[in-house]
Structure 1
Amino acid sequence: MSQQKQANPTASAHTRAGARGARAIRWTLRAARNVFAVLGVVFVYLLVLGYQQYTDRLAAGDTSCALTRCL
């Protein structure tokens, strides 16, 4: 019985608060990683779409508006 640790409520509350903060940081980083993954997929989609439009215009012979804004 002499080797048992005595309960210290302030230490356990401090440990729980630290664990809560670490858990919040992990959740935030995981959410940010997922948001950046979705944005990366959207970027690649728009990149492929733009390249397809460019090749379509190039094949049609309409290269005057391919790189500049048509007015």
Structure 2
Amino acid sequence: MMGNYSREQLQITLSSRDFSVEGVTGKIRFGELGDRLLLDKDKSVLVQVKPNVKSGKYQFVIREESN
């Protein structure tokens, strides 16, 4: 289904059990509550909360590993 999605249709699509999309870091899936599911259970993600200048709200920024 292509075209415009309502918020409800988008939420239903993203939370369906068979939805996934290939992203830069691997497959992306979302749980029923809207949380992103990490497929690599042993991998932790460190995030930093930063203000978003454009929206005036806060956003989570994934911190890169430093070696």
Query: Greater CA radius of gyration, 1 or 2?
Result: 1
TM-score range, shorter chain: under 0.3
Asked which structure has the greater RCO (Cα within 8 Å, sep 6+), the reply is 2
Give the structure-1-normalised TM-score: 0.25
* Higher share in helix: 1
